[in-house]
């Protein structure tokens, strides 16, 4: 499927980008564990897999345009699934689903796949608490059907995700469970009405009900970058991206944009969440290599497009592991960009206009969105083949692009 992008004189508006996957999935699971009706807004398409799993466990969930209405069933209102539950590839979300399943009166067969090693510490902890945990194969376990008792856990879980899984397990145990975890994990459960003791150790009494809580999932910073980049390069642009998550390990490209002259103001809304206000900025060329190139590898295609609009010559080295580099160069050359490829990277001469044409996104969402930015900045229409790859990332991407046209 091809998408057509027309040149734009300026970009303006207030928009949201799809939310982060794991926070959305965490909100959905906690909503299912709660008593009452909750709403989870701005969930990404990828969170739909957890919705399917929860529905298999008897949870009523309605969906409309990225908003899920969840009718919580409480701690033990779930139903046994008709088939084994596949948690492979769910990352930290698997660490939240396992204690949920372990605490039920019925037994569940769970396939963990590559998540088995990640989940091993939690599985061991569940067994310590007295939950039934039986290993059937290298990555398949059976859990549930056995009452556990709380006790003091002397070893601190190494990650917040493991700590949250441990605290959720404590809700299903008889008595009180105490463990050493970061206070931010305790604060998360407190928002759901769970009483968390805060002395030398955090303590949670079993049997506490979670209260229904509405959640708006913050937007993915990586999905904000393409529209931010386009706004930087069109005179008179002013774009606000609402409620975006800014996490220390994910902001390397944001820092790079600011280094080359981007005027991006972050209005803090709370922990790690900001409204981003972007204005037209005179971008300047730079050199990216080594560790910094590795940190922005996912945005190399977009950065190459922006470099065509920057003043001076940009050098991007150490891109050996970046997908479709040769195709990126050929595609931008077809738009009259001055871009050269050498054994160690790319050289891009900026300040020259791009032309319209036809490009192939190669089924790569990052490449496709970067080409859409090129289309906004070009002097003629740009047709992009393979745009259907965005259906699993941001189905409304091109509709959003159309909505921020300021001409």
pLDDT at 153: 77
CATH node for 2-18+218-403: 3.65.10.10
Summarised one tens digit per residue, pLDDT across range 176-190 is 988 887 778 888 999
The answer to whether the CB of 404 falls within 8 A of the CB of 12 is yes
133, β-bridge pairs: 143
Residue 367's SS3 state is helix
Question: Model-level pTM greater than 0.85?
Answer: yes
Specify whether the backbone of 93 is left (phi greater than 0), alpha (psi in -120 to 50) or beta: alpha
pLDDT over threshold 90, residue 218 = yes
pLDDT tens digits, one per residue of 69-81: 999 999 999 999 9
Closest CA to 177 of 148, 209, 204, 199: 204
Output the DSSP codes for 187-235: HHHHTTT--EEESSSEEEETTPPEEP--EEPPBPHHHHHHHHHHHHHST
Task: Tell me the average pLDDT across 333-353.
Answer: 94
Q: What is the helix (H) or strand (E) element at residue 316, kind and residue range?
A: strand 313-317
Give the residue-averaged pLDDT of 21-34. Answer: 98
pLDDT above 90: residue 155:
no
Residue written as token pair 């990052």:
366
Q: Is 200 exposed, middle or buried (0-12, 13-18, 19+ CB in 10 A)?
A: exposed
pLDDT-derived band at 199 (thresholds 50, 70, 90) equals confident
Q: Which helix (H) or strand (E) holds 295?
A: helix 290-295
pLDDT band, residue 382 (cuts 50/70/90): very high
C-alpha 278, offset from chain centre: 21
Query: What pLDDT score was predicted for residue 248?
Result: 87
Joined tokens for residue 277: 């206000």
Euclidean distance between the first and final Cα of the chain, in Å? 26
Distance CA 347, CA 370 (A): 17
Copy the structure tokens of residue 3. Answer: 């998408």
Contact 109, 135 (CB under 8 A): no
Retrieve residue 148's tokens. Answer: 């556990």
> Where do the domains of the chain lie?
2-18+218-403, 21-79, 91-206
The 10 Å CB-count burial string (b at 16+, else e) for 134-153 is eeeeebbbbbbeeebebbeb
The count of C-alpha atoms lying within 13 angstroms of the C-alpha of 198, restricted to the half-sphere facing its C-beta, is 11
User: What CATH number does domain 21-79 carry, 3.30.1370, 1.10.10, 3.40.50, 3.40.720?
Assistant: 3.30.1370
Select 91-206's CATH number: 3.65.10.10, 3.40.50.150, 2.60.40.10, 3.40.190.10. 3.65.10.10
- In this predicted structure, the answer to whether residue 17 has a pLDDT above a threshold of 80 is yes
* Matching fold, domains 2-18+218-403 and 91-206: yes
Task: Please state, for a pLDDT cut of 70, what percent of the chain lies above it.
Answer: 100
**pLDDT average, residue stretch 117-122:** 91
Q: Name the residue among 41, 54, 61 with its Cα closest to residue 87.
A: 54
Please report the pLDDT score of residue 202 as a whole number.
Answer: 86
- pLDDT > 90? residue 312: yes
pLDDT digit string, tens, across residues 30-77:
999 999 999 999 999 999 999 999 999 999 999 998 999 999 999 999
Q: Does residue 104 surpass a pLDDT of 80? A: yes
H helix or E strand, kind and range, residue 134: strand 133-135
Instruction: Determine which helix (DSSP H) or strand (DSSP E) holds 123, and give its type and residue range.
Output: helix 116-129
Q: Which of 189, 182, 215, 190 is nearest to 23 (CA)?
A: 215
Q: Provide CB contacts within 8 A for 181, sequence distance 6+.
A: 156, 157, 160, 163, 166, 167, 202
Sign of CA dihedral 180, 184, 189, 195: positive
């Amino acid at each position: 499927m091809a998408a057509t992008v027309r040149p734009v004189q300026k970009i303006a508006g207030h928009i949201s980008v799809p939310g982060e996957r794991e926070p959305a999935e965490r909100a959905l699971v906690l909503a299912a564990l709660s008593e009452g009706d909750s709403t989870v807004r701005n969930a990404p398409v990828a969170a739909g897999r957890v919705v399917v799993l929860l529905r298999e466990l008897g949870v009523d969930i309605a969906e409309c345009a990225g908003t899920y209405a969840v009718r919580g069933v409480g701690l033990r209102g779930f139903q046994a699934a008709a088939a084994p539950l596949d948690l492979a590839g769910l990352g930290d979300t698997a660490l939240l689903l396992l204690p949920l399943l372990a605490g039920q009166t019925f037994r569940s067969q769970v396939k963990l796949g590559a998540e088995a090693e990640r989940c091993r510490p939690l599985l061991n902890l569940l067994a310590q608490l007295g939950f039934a945990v039986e290993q059937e194969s290298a990555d398949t376990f059976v859990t549930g059907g056995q009452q556990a008792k709380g006790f003091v856990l002397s070893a601190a879980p190494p990650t917040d995700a493991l700590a949250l899984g441990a605290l959720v397990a404590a809700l299903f145990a008889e008595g009180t469970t105490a463990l050493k975890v970061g206070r931010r994990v305790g604060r998360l459960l407190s928002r759901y009405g769970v009483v968390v003791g805060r002395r030398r150790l955090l303590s949670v009494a079993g049997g506490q009900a979670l209260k229904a809580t509405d959640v708006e999932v913050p937007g993915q910073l990586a999905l904000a970058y393409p529209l931010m980049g386009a706004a930087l390069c069109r005179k008179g642009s002013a774009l606000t991206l609402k409620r975006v998550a800014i996490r220390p390990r994910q902001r390397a490209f944001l820092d790079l944009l600011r280094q080359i002259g981007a005027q991006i103001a972050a209005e803090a809304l709370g922990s790690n969440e900001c409204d981003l206000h972007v204005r037209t900025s005179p971008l300047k060329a730079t050199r990216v290599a080594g560790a910094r190139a590795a940190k922005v590898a996912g945005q190399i295609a977009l950065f190459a497009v922006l470099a065509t609009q920057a003043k001076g010559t940009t050098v991007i080295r150490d891109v050996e592991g970046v997908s479709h580099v040769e195709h990126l160069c050929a595609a931008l050359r077809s738009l009259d960009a001055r871009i050269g490829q050498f054994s160690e990277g790319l050289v891009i001469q900026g300040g020259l206009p791009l032309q319209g044409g036809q490009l192939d996104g190669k089924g790569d969402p990052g490449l496709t969105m970067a080409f859409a930015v090129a289309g906004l900045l070009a002097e003629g229409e740009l047709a992009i083949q393979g745009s259907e790859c965005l259906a699993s990332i941001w189905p409304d991407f091109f509709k959003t692009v159309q909505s921020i046209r300021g001409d």
